[in-house]
Amino acid sequence: MASVTIQDLMNLLPSYFMPEQAKGISARIGFDLTGEGGGYWTAVIENQTCRVEKEKVEPLDLTLSGEASVILDIFSGRLDAMRAYLMGKVKLTGNMSLAMQMTGLFKPDKDQLKALGGKVD
């Protein structure tokens, strides 16, 4: 069974976005990911919408750096975001207040991830 790729996740990220939680938030969040399927993506949040670009869109408000597989584990619910940060699996640069808000801005659809072939607990 194929695994969900980080590109799959980035394609789905706008559909996981919860606009009602983003009132007053305007941000550019960079995902600088290494490992299998790694690359650079920017989630642009403005006017209660979210889009993802397959490039660095500056200026960035927050950058998340780490292995692509760790980000997949966080969004699929297999790894708690705060735990990943405390364990050094994810590095954050920039607006830490925004980092704390991120988990409330996205609600991944675990059934959708499973349908793509991902192992989701």
| Residue 108, pLDDT score | 87
Average pLDDT over residues 85-110: 93
Which residue range(s) make up the domain with 86? 6-98
The residues facing 53 across adjacent strands are 42
Residue 84 lies in a domain: yes
Residue 1 lies in a domain: no
Residue 106 lies in a domain: no
CB 67 within 8 A of CB 33: yes
Give the integer Cα–Cα distance in Å for 15 and 32: 21
| Residue 22, pLDDT score | 96
The residues facing 35 across adjacent strands are none
Residue 119 lies in a domain: no
Q: What is the CATH number of the domain that holds 72?
A: 3.30.1050.10
Residue 115 lies in a domain: no
| Residue 59, pLDDT score | 97
Domain count of the fold of the chain: 1
Residue 118 lies in a domain: no
> Which distant-in-sequence residues (6+ apart) come within 8 Å of 7 by Cβ?
37, 39
The residues facing 17 across adjacent strands are 106
Residue 50 lies in a domain: yes
Taking CA atoms, 85 is separated from 4, 45, 47, 97, in Å, by 22, 22, 28, 14
| Residue 121, pLDDT score | 46
User: Tokens for 104?
Assistant: 């409330």
